[in-house]
Amino acid sequence: MTFSEQRTERAFDARPVLADKDARTLARDVLMMSQDEFSAARALHVLGPSRARPSLPIENPGLRFRCRPPRPHRPMTDPLRETLQASLGQAYTLTAELGGGGMSRVFVAREEALGRDVVVKVLSSEVAEGLSVERFGREIRLAAALQEPHIVPVLAAGVTTLGMPYYTMPFVQGASLRDRLTQGPLPVDEALALLRDVAQALAYAHARGVVHRDIKPENILLSSGTAVVTDFGIAKALQVSRTVDADAADARGITRTGTSLGTPAYMAPEQAAGDPATDQRADLYAWGVVAYELLTGQHPFAARTSPQQLLRAHLTETPAAFPATSTVSSRIAALVLQCLAKDPDDRPASATAVLQQLHDGQRRTDAAPVQSRVPRRIAAAVAFVLLALVATGMWWRGATRDATTATGAPAPVMMAVLPFEHAGPADQQPFTDGLTDAVTSKLASLSSLLVIDRRSAATYRGTTKPAQQIGKELGVRYLLEGVVRWAKDGAGTWRARVTPTLVDTKAGTIKWTGTPVDVTLDDPFTAQGSIATDVAQAMEVAVLPVERAKLTTRFTDNPQAFAAYQRAQEMINAAARTSNFTTAPANGDAIRELNTAIALDSTFAEAWGALARQHWVAAVNFFGDSVDIARSREVVNLALRRAPSEPSAILAAALWAWHVDRNRPAAQSLVSTALSMSRNDAATLATASDLLIFWSPDSARTLAVRAAQLDPRSGRNLDRAARQSLTSRRWVDAGRFGEALVTLDSADERGWSILLSLQVLRGDTTAIEQLSTRVKQNIRKTSAQLACWMSYGSTQSSAWYLGLPAAEQGLSSLIDSVSYYDCKTDAAVRVSGTADGRANSDSIIALLSPSRLSSLPTPPWSHELTILAYAYANVGNKSAAQALATRIIAEGRRMEGQDSLPSTFDADGVASVYAAIGDTASALRWMRVGLRQGYSVRWYKMNPRLRPLHGTAAFERFVRENDR
């Protein structure tokens, strides 16, 4: 059966099940392409006698019909569909056929693993016979690299068992632009919005060397009020994949997939003429045809009906000017006609230029003067109020992000560097990722830029979200994107070409496309500095001389050292995404990679800084396990000597100075130095915040919030901002960051922990129970810490917690184990009384032995020491409890440097110790301190450790006086 006959059978068989217009569309295609009488007659039968030839948009004048009765309908098997399903295997299930064009058939399939519908397009056997499948697959991979909101991406590609190439794309819910046009003319504003979307897609693809070659209403789909373009790169893939035997295939009547691919009604003159130099400007011509059709209501060559007539018109005829009655602005009309110029050189230089002219033309229309209806006195009053608000600092800061600061200096511009697209072998992906990270670090060193942390930006790898949505989620004005294409040169050496693009998320347009930069494996550093420098120039941001030098300074001259450093960073980032603390094995692997980097280049400052940081992580998180504390301290000091200007090394030294040496002046000086060197780095701000919380809670919170702003997709930074808000008694902010963390990842325990702890502090058992229900709906197995917070909701919740065995709680460190038994102590008291908690207190005393306490690199008023004091009191050793409580208070005041206490002092814990040993007056004194720290009377009433006070006259008086 010929292709036309197959097409005819599908059209005829579609009549009972498809809408009448869908069957007619198939039939019209058959009639237009038919080369035999049977197919033509069959198509006319589908169309029906009342609307057969007169309603056809394109006739075939070379065809002479000898209409005979159609063949009787007979059931037919579909070998192509069966072959495609067999080739797809169980991963996809074909559910329906959408039809297709002359070169392919289109199916809807269910992707079983993800439960979503996709489109599968399989090339016909006639087309496949003239192709190099290998070349076609290579070109499809280039098309798959296109990730832009207005482009329907290619998801996967393959070959059926019969050698027919296929590819998959997302299933877009919505009609095509052609379907929309059949319903009547579009309003001008709607048409311009759709044209802008298509131009945006073209600008993005052209910047990456991909030309569509078949822009037409059928390939423009409408989804949620926007336009998305499908089949990008397919025409080029067909063209370049023709084999040397293609001419022979043509001789046998097979469709030639070469010189004049495209649709006659939308084909540029050079494309129609088969010019091999056809480039991206052919897409601009097709865009012009579509634009003319949308804005005037008819095709520019509507009087020409046959393919031959249309091609001749594209080559020789000039479209009519826009009607005088048109509401389209003269600038837009001139742009459309310029795109329809016969000579490509007379068209706009690029799709980016088209976007700009669209913007300018629309802005000129929107800027028409309008008579104000606001009385001048009211306007003046409003202006005066606004000036007063600005003068007093009350104006919403979010509205001034693109303005200037109060000092008159330009406010830093927010941007993000999205993961560069990798078009090359899988084993070179780490190199591309390292290039992205390096460019991010370079740009983050500029004081006039605020750059989103690479870990937040990495969450958008392969995203299909619109630029405007990403900009809103990250709070940025600009996105830097890049494509890294790999190839081997004549000597067999891998080389890459990087093409950077800067996108304005506010306007949804490309602001700048950089000159492609070549890079090799043995020199990744030149490209890093070059791209960062070009981006800074394109953004027109101020760059200080010292910063300009940093942009071109190499991290290291040793590519292997840089690769080891990048591997360590990925390990650290991966661990941070899965837990509160970096796990011991992951931390050890990262340390080994960093040691490798330093062994290869002992002057690699960033590697020294990261090594110091990870050794501190090992010391603080895994003390009491198998970590050599002395070795960690030695490495931190060595890093500070080798990399005295590296913020990570400086802050690691500050952590030791404060937590171990108890040297607050030294710690403060080191923190100030680190911040002066890196004010816009999320990691630096976060670590500085962790230190400042002990002597300046408000400053610590400010830094934590800024770190969360620069790394908004980081659970760790959102968690820090929430905890610092708790410490600063900013309950609303704490809840806001906690909810943001839950929204970011409902399976991340930290957000739930923040929300639960906030309700525990408030003593709201009803809210705790409600939150616990939400937790159980989102988290399959809770950790011991999260379950602890949940246990405060009710007696039943406490009993549930008591039933959780230690072996199943993933207690990976000494701190985890101590907290687990401490919480069980409380749960036991709530369920049965004080005596039942003593066994857990015995476990705490055994865990916190004097030898382990001597290695504890945390301040002496730490939560663990307060837990130990209460454990002593709970087992009846009042003298030991009293001694520890006295020591904790004295050390706290000494560390503060005055007769006061740090904001992190655990006043509630100390009050609990005194209540347990029977010192009511001291307990109430520390409860009053706790009230100033943010604890509530409701919490004191539900805290099981204060039960010895319940019923006493002093406690009841305290409740009456403070329960407001």
CA distance 55 to 175: 22
CA distance 958 to 862: 27
Matching residue, tokens 């498809």: 18
Q: Residues 6 or more apart from 493 whose CB is under 8 A from it? A: 520, 521
- Under DSSP, the state recorded for 299 is -
Q: Residues 6 or more apart from 791 whose CB is under 8 A from it? A: 797, 798, 800, 801, 823, 826, 827, 830
Q: Which of 29, 214, 681, 822 is catalytic?
A: 214
CA distance 143 to 158: 14
Nearest Cα residue to 169 out of 88, 211, 218, 109: 109
Q: Exposed, middle or buried: residue 732 (CB in 10 Å: 0-12, 13-18, 19+)?
A: exposed
Q: Residues 6 or more apart from 492 whose CB is under 8 A from it? A: none
Residue type, 268: A
CA distance 338 to 764: 68
Establish whether 117 is a catalytic residue: no
What is the per-residue DSSP string for 314-362? Answer: HHH--PPPPPTT--S-HHHHHHHHHHT-SSGGGS-S-HHHHHHHHHHHH
- Under DSSP, the state recorded for 151 is B
Give the β-pairing of 165-170 and 156-159: antiparallel
User: Across-strand partners of 482?
Assistant: 500
- Under DSSP, the state recorded for 523 is B
Determine contact, residues 263/253, Cβ cutoff 8 Å.
no
122 phi and psi angles, rounded to 5 deg: -120, 130
Residue 961 host element (H or E): helix 953-962
Give the β-pairing of 104-111 and 116-123: antiparallel
CA distance 291 to 275: 24
Q: Which two tokens stand for residue 778?
A: 């989102």
Question: Is the CA virtual torsion 469, 473, 479, 485 positive or negative?
Answer: negative
- What number of other Cβ atoms are within 10 A of residue 920's Cβ? 16
Output the CA torsion 710→712→715→716 (10° steps): 10
In 415-464, which residue ranges form alpha helices assigned H by DSSP? Answer: 429-444, 454-457
Percentages of the chain per state (helix, strand, coil), in multiples of 5: 60, 10, 35
Q: Exposed, middle or buried: residue 57 (CB in 10 Å: 0-12, 13-18, 19+)?
A: exposed
CA distance 760 to 519: 55
CA distance 551 to 443: 7
Nearest Cα residue to 500 out of 204, 143, 155, 138: 204
Q: Which two tokens stand for residue 523?
A: 């020199």
Q: Which two tokens stand for residue 922?
A: 């001291």
Matching residue, tokens 């800027």: 367
Determine contact, residues 483/470, Cβ cutoff 8 Å.
no
CA distance 362 to 148: 23
Q: Which two tokens stand for residue 215?
A: 């822009």
SS3 assignment for 351-387: HHHHHHHHHHHHHHHHCCCCCCCCCHHHHHHHHHHHH
Determine contact, residues 539/502, Cβ cutoff 8 Å.
yes
Catalytic annotation, residues: 214
